[in-house]
Amino acid sequence: RKEVEQDPGPFNVPEGATVAFNCTYSNSASQSFFWYRQDCRKEPKLLMSVYSSGNEDGRFTAQLNRASQYISLLIRDSKLSDSATYLCVVNNGGSQGNLIFGKGTKLSVKP
């Protein structure tokens, strides 16, 4: 089993749609979880951290289920500018460890 697995995508949705991405991770000792966004030919950028209680940032909501080792990202009211690849990221090894990236899910929002 891969350390971090994501929906294969791509997701093609109309503007205004709600879209959800899922991610599972294999290391039950992982402490930190993030969603990153990567635009074509650019570096990944932090979208949001994921907390156990769930967290929301505007149109974006992230959820964590430690028991199932599952992370999700919900985007409401999709905009054309949301088109990008979304990367699920999980910490491996605590404060002396490193970050493991999923392969990403590509989102295309169409007019």
Partner 1 sequence: NAGVTQTPKFQVLKTGQSMTLQCAQDMNHNSMYWYRQDPGMGLRLIYYSASEGTTDKGEVPNGYNVSRLNKREFSLRLESAAPSQTSVYFCASSHRGNTEAFFGQGTRLTVV
Contact residues toward partner 1 (CB under 8 A) are 31-32, 34, 42-46, 49, 87, 89, 91, 93-104
50/78 with CB nearer partner 1: 50
Minimum Å gap between C-beta 24 and partner 1 is 15
Question: Which CB, 48 or 75, lies closer to partner 1?
Answer: 48
Nearest to 76 by CA among 14, 17, 2: 17
CB of 14 to partner 1, least distance (A): 27
Specify the amino acid at residue 4. V
Q: What are phi and psi of 61, to 5 degrees?
A: -130, 130
Q: How far is the CB of 49 from partner 1 (least distance, A)?
A: 6
**Of 36 and 78, CB closest to partner 1:** 36
Pairwise CA distance, residues 93 & 26, whole Å: 12
Residues near 108 by beta carbon (within 8 Å), at least 6 away in sequence? 10, 11, 12, 13, 83
